[in-house]
Amino acid sequence: MALQVITGLVGGLAMFLYGMRLMGDSLQKAAGDKMKHFIKILTTNKYMGVIAGIFVTGIMQSSSATTIMVVGFVNAGLMNLEQAVGVIMGANIGTTITAQLIAFRLSYIAPVAIAIGVVLWFFGSKKIKQIGEIIIGFGIMFMGMDMMRNSVEPLKNVPEFSRLILMLGRNRFLGVLVGFIMTATLQSSGVTIGIIQALAFQGLMPIETALPILFGDNIGTTVATLLASIGANRTAKRAALIHTFFNVIGTAIFMIFLNPVTAVVKFMSSDITRQVANAHTLFNVTNTLIQLPFAGYLVKLVQRILPGEVKEEENGLKYLDERILETPSISVVQAYKEAIRMGYISLKNLEVSMESFFEYDSQKCQKVFDRERYINQLETDITKYLVKISNTSLSPEQSKKVTSMFHIINDIERIGDHADNVAEMAQYSIDNNLKYSDLAFSEIHGMTDVVFNAVKRALDVMDSPSTEGYQNVLKLENEIDKIEEDLRDNHIKRLNGGECEPASGVVYLDLLSNLERVGDHSLNIAELACE
């Protein structure tokens, strides 16, 4: 019998977990670019953060994944602690959705749901396939839940198990500890609650015993967040601590008022499975209502525990953090932000390189060389991150964007290379005392203005893709080609007329070529961004 219970419970648990994961991944793919709009909500205020936390967790089917993502946002400097508080609290509310779904006992329709999902997946369009995956995940989750319920039924006849439940009922704090250990081990509050509901359904666990375990389960979810904060900056660690204090304080409050809470839960429903789900919802909603007005004090508390200022790094990635990979759709958006940032760094380097040429400034040449190494490192780091995104669950549209981004950052890096080339020409001109006419400088000035404008417009298209934006870059690139052709012809005439030195003339022509290539890369960026 023991083997039957264990195999059934483990098998059901595996199906339940897989169903949750499949449904969560499919919901994320279906949400697609809609998720990026919630980034703005995430970074407004704590109240909107609660809504965003509920929404994101409802899609991801995991409050731990959401809070880990929040740690990533805070670590990347995209969210402050006050904003993080709201999202964390909302995530706790969002995780109650799974328990409420389970309480409907829809196991009987699970095979039908899977059959419908498979048909949609095989014969539907891309969007229909995603809906099919959601339905399949839904069905597998409920089949797993049903298997867990059936597997624990023989425990009714095991006196040792009855004594264990009785002991947990007498020692409430032991129940909290059991809930904490279960969730910390399984890394999923949804699974712990599913097991509690399965035991309650078979009459093996009264609600009085289930509630302390349920409250301990909420503390257990904080372990994943605390582990995720290891290696993050001080502010991210504070966010993880806020999550811990939120659940610990909430558990303490509910344990003090356990008897009244039990009475309320029983009044809300006579169904034991629904009672467990309602208790989970009641805990997180009430906890949020109580603690949200005091979010500022939570922030001050963790700042006292972890004092000190966070130093902002000048170099390295700004918008990317591996913790954000928990939400692939948002990761794609953040990767775009990082690529745009890299683009502006390359543009800045191009501007400084031209200044070094016009001003015969060796110090500016060195600044360009130093920044070029940083640009190269950015390309490497972003590429590695894009590879990781590619291995997550993406919609076809998101996969296409990631593929385009591989090419975009290559073009941006090439703009940085041309800036480096210009600085080398400037240093060569300084070392060899090369002179250029006022006319030559005037011509180059006119061309650089158009080139800079083309790069800026291309980066604007990345930020807000549009056909009009692409056409503007195309016009500028055509203008650059015409300018380069005219200036090259004029310079050759001056060379033939002996109006300039051959050595200076070679550098001048090479400079024109590099600027023209920058225009080509700008057009490539705009075109890829609009695909």
| Residue ranges per structural domain of the chain | 2-305, 327-529
Statement: 327-529 belongs to CATH 2.60.40.1240 = no
Please give the structure tokens belonging to residue 52: 């965003």
Render 228-284 in DSSP notation, one character per residue: HTTTS-HHHHHHHHHHHHHHHHHHHHHHHTHHHHHHHHHHH-S-HHHHHHHHHHHHH
Which of 74-88, 211-225, 311-325 is the most confident on average? Answer: 211-225
Residue 16 confidence (pLDDT): 82
Q: For residue range 330-343, what is the model confidence (pLDDT) as tens digits?
A: 788 889 889 999 99
pLDDT confidence of 526, banded at 50, 70, 90? very high
**The token pair that represents 358 in the structure block:** 């016009």
Model pTM?
0.73
Q: What is each CA distance from 448 to 23, 174, 461, 523, in whole angstroms?
A: 52, 72, 20, 16
Instruction: Place 94 in a pLDDT band, splitting at 50, 70 and 90.
Output: confident
Which of 95-99, 116-120, 431-435 is predicted least confidently? Answer: 95-99
Q: Please tell me the predicted confidence (pLDDT) of residue 37.
A: 62
Reported confidence tier of residue 314, pLDDT bands at 50, 70, 90: very low
Would you state the pLDDT for residue 416? 94
Gap between the Cα atoms of 485 and 209, Å rounded: 83
Per-residue model confidence as pLDDT tens digits over 334-390: 898 899 999 999 999 999 999 999 999 999 999 999 999 999 999 999 999 999 999
Q: Which residue has the higher pLDDT, 270 or 164?
A: 270
Whether 205 and 165 have beta carbons less than 8 Å apart is answered as yes
Instruction: Give the mean pLDDT of the chain.
Output: 85
498 versus 36: the higher-pLDDT residue is 498
Residue 60 pLDDT greater than 80, yes or no: no
- In sequence order, what are the residues at sequence separation of 6 or more whose Cβ sits closer than 8 angstroms to the Cβ of residue 226? 240, 241, 244
